[in-house]
């Protein structure tokens, strides 16, 4: 083989006559890097926040986020919820201003008295414990005033409190943001129960009017269009209205969005939906998107938009290590619903056939992932289709596509390889390659992916994959990838006998 056949990219060996050693380095076979996996938290900011709406910004600390978004804003609280699960990953914020056409949610707490004994009133707003002292003889008006002060001083509560102008015994709550999502701000008393010392002082009565009236979430289209080509593998969406979810579905579309062959940017949406069992099954059947995973729950004090961040982060910390790793039993920070409101195994099974992911609660009161699935349920013909059932599969596909792309780019495109037809003799170190040689490289790459359990069945892959040429300079490959599975369920048939 002549020296001119070697694949020098810069060293002009044929035209170089000085003595000495001239070394050119080729890293085309050394690239083992993978894409950094970013999370994007979408949420509303207050007027006190300094972030520019619809422009993503990287988050570094809670103090910085509070300044960007406003203390107790939706997005600041979502960041806190995310960091409680994933303290290390790269996080960006997708700040949104309230929709000008929207309305805020309102609710109230009315008190009766006087108190016939002293104690502590065990109030909760958004799952945050906000107890306030009740003294013997306190009137309803006094209790309303004290409750207002306690709520106003609480951290982690995204609503304001004021004594009602007409009824001094009533505390009016108003969400800090406008939008449908704000109706999910929960108000309750003695959430942890008498067994944990939470009892209403004697003589004190109360009535809760749940938050309602919030309408019109912000639109996502401008924020999404401003993301450009920045990669975001995990997208935390606080909204489950059809307009928001449809915008994200189009954004990630296989045909024209981030999962299309032209873009190859990928990404996945995580969200949470609150509703009764029937409401959740109805909602689940309206969605059909392989790029969205939505947790269904009912009666937890945690707002759905806050749980979306917890749900997202719970996946990140598992899938970032290995996208094939199962997420079942991964703990969640969501506050558990009362036992009577927790789903039965049969109900969870129904939800999993209606496109919603499920959770369980341990005897110790810890919520944890039961099963994580996408909302994809039917193919284009309207027939049942479980091709994209498990959330893991989408992340395995992302990892495999990116790794294969990076390796092929490093080995063939960056060095400027010359493409010749199959059958051409290609000596080692040559600047040329063939479709068959490139396919052999892909088989080797696939074997590596199998060694870390992203894919499986290397021999079957090698036997069925093939490569051909397209237009001038184009190589087209068919890659029958077989992704690995997760251990989700173990069925035991226990047959017993009695000894004679």
Instruction: Summarize pLDDT for 194-217 with one digit per residue, the tens.
Output: 999 999 999 999 999 999 999 999
Q: Are both 91 and 236 inside the same structural domain?
A: yes
Q: Let me know if residue 342 belongs to a domain.
A: yes
Average pLDDT, integer, range 39-65: 98
Specify the DSSP element, H or E, that contains 270: strand 268-274
Helix/strand/coil (H/E/C) assignment for every residue in 283-338:
HHCCCCCCCEEEEEECCCCCCHHHHHHHHHHHHHHHHCCCCCCCCCCCECCCCCCC
Residues 263, 353, single domain; the answer is yes
Question: Does residue 47 sit in the same domain as residue 194?
Answer: no
Tell me how crowded residue 122 is: count the other CB atoms within 10 A of its CB.
Answer: 22
| Within-domain flag for 86 | yes
Please give the radius of gyration of the chain, using alpha carbons only, rounded to the nearest integer.
Answer: 29
In a domain, 357, yes or no: yes
Q: What is the pLDDT averaged over residues 300-315?
A: 98
The answer to whether residues 296 and 358 touch, using CB atoms and an 8 Å cutoff, is yes
- Tell whether the model's pLDDT for residue 14 goes beyond 90: no
In the prediction, which pLDDT does 34 show?
62
Q: What is the mean pLDDT of the chain?
A: 94
- Percent helix, strand and coil across the chain, each rounded to 5? 30, 20, 50
Are residues 204 and 138 part of one domain? yes
Across the range 393-398, mean pLDDT stands at 97
Q: Average pLDDT in the 112-137 region?
A: 98
Contact 104, 213 (CB under 8 A): yes
Concatenated DSSP letters of 375-394:
S--B-TTS-B--TT-BHHHH
Domain end: 212, 241, 270, which one? 212
Q: How many domains does the chain have?
A: 3
In-domain check, residue 146: yes
Check residues 414 and 78 and name the one with the higher pLDDT: 78
Task: Kindly state whether residues 457 and 486 are assigned to the same domain.
Answer: yes
Q: Does residue 178 share a domain with residue 70? A: no
Task: Supply the pLDDT for residue 2.
Answer: 46
Domain around 133:
104-212
- 201 in a structural domain: yes
Q: List Cβ neighbours of 84 (8 Å cut-off, separation of 6 or more).
A: 310, 313, 333
- Eight-state DSSP code of residue 458: H
Examine the domain organization and report whether 189 and 256 are in the same domain: no
Name the pLDDT band for 36 (thresholds 50, 70, 90). confident
Boundary-marking domain end, from 362, 393, 424: 393
Band the pLDDT of 24: cuts 50, 70, 90.
low
- On whether residue 6 sits in a domain, the answer given is no
pLDDT of residue 18: 77
Provide the CATH number for the domain around residue 201. Answer: 3.90.1160.10
Q: Does residue 281 belong to any structural domain of this protein?
A: yes
Same domain? 351 vs 480? no
pLDDT at 9 over 70: no
Please tell me whether the overall predicted TM-score, pTM, comes out greater than 0.85 for this model.
Answer: yes
Residue 176 is predicted with a pLDDT of 98
């Amino acid at each position: 083989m002549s020296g001119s056949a070697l694949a020098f990219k810069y060293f002009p060996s044929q035209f170089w006559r000085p003595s000495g050693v001239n070394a050119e380095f080729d890293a085309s076979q050394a690239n083992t890097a993978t894409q950094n996996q970013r999370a994007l938290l979408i949420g509303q900011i207050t007027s006190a926040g300094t972030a520019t709406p619809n422009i993503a910004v990287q988050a570094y600390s809670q103090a910085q986020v509070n300044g960007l978004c406003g203390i107790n804003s939706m997005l600041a609280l979502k960041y806190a919820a995310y960091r409680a699960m994933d303290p290390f990953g790269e996080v960006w914020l997708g700040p949104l201003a309230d929709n000008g056409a929207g309305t805020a949610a309102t609710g109230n707490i009315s008190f009766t008295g006087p108190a016939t004994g002293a104690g502590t009133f065990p109030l909760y707003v958004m799952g945050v414990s906000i107890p306030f002292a009740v003294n013997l003889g306190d009137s309803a008006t006094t209790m309303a005033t004290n409750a207002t002060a306690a709520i106003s001083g609480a951290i982690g509560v995204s609503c304001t409190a004021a004594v009602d102008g007409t009824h001094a015994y009533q505390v009016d709550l108003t969400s800090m943001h406008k939008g449908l999502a704000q109706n999910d701000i929960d108000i309750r008393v003695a959430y942890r129960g008498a067994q944990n010392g939470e009892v209403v002082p004697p003589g004190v009565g109360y009535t809760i009017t749940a938050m309602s009236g919030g309408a019109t979430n912000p639109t996502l289209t401008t924020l999404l269009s401003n993301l450009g080509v920045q990669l975001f593998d995990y997208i935390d969406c606080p909204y489950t209205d059809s307009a928001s979810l449809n915008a994200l579905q189009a954004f990630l579309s296989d045909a024209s969005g981030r999962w299309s062959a032209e873009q190859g940017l990928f990404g996945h949406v995580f969200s949470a939906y609150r509703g009764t069992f029937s409401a959740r099954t109805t909602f689940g059947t309206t969605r059909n998107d392989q790029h969205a995973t939505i947790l269904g729950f009912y009666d937890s004090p945690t707002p759905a938009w806050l749980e979306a961040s917890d749900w997202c982060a719970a996946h990140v910390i598992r899938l970032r290590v290995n996208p094939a790793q199962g997420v079942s039993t991964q703990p969640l920070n969501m506050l558990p619903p009362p036992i009577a409101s927790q789903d039965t195994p049969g109900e969870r099974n129904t939800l999993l056939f209606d496109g919603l992911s499920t959770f369980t609660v341990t005897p110790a009161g810890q919520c944890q992932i039961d099963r994580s699935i996408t909302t994809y349920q039917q193919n284009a013909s309207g027939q049942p289709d479980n091709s994209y059932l498990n959330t893991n599969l989408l992340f395995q596909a992302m990892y495999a596509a990116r790794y294969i792309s990076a390796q092929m780019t490093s080995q063939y495109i960056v060095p400027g390889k010359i493409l010749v037809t199959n059958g051409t003799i290609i000596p080692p170190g040559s600047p040329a390659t063939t479709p068959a040689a490139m396919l052999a490289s892909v088989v080797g790459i696939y074997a590596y992916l199998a060694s870390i359990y992203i894919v499986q069945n290397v021999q079957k892959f090698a036997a069925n994959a093939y490569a051909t040429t397209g237009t001038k300079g184009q190589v087209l490959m068919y890659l029958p990838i077989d992704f690995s599975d997760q251990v989700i369920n173990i069925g035991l048939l226990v047959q017993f006998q009695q000894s004679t």
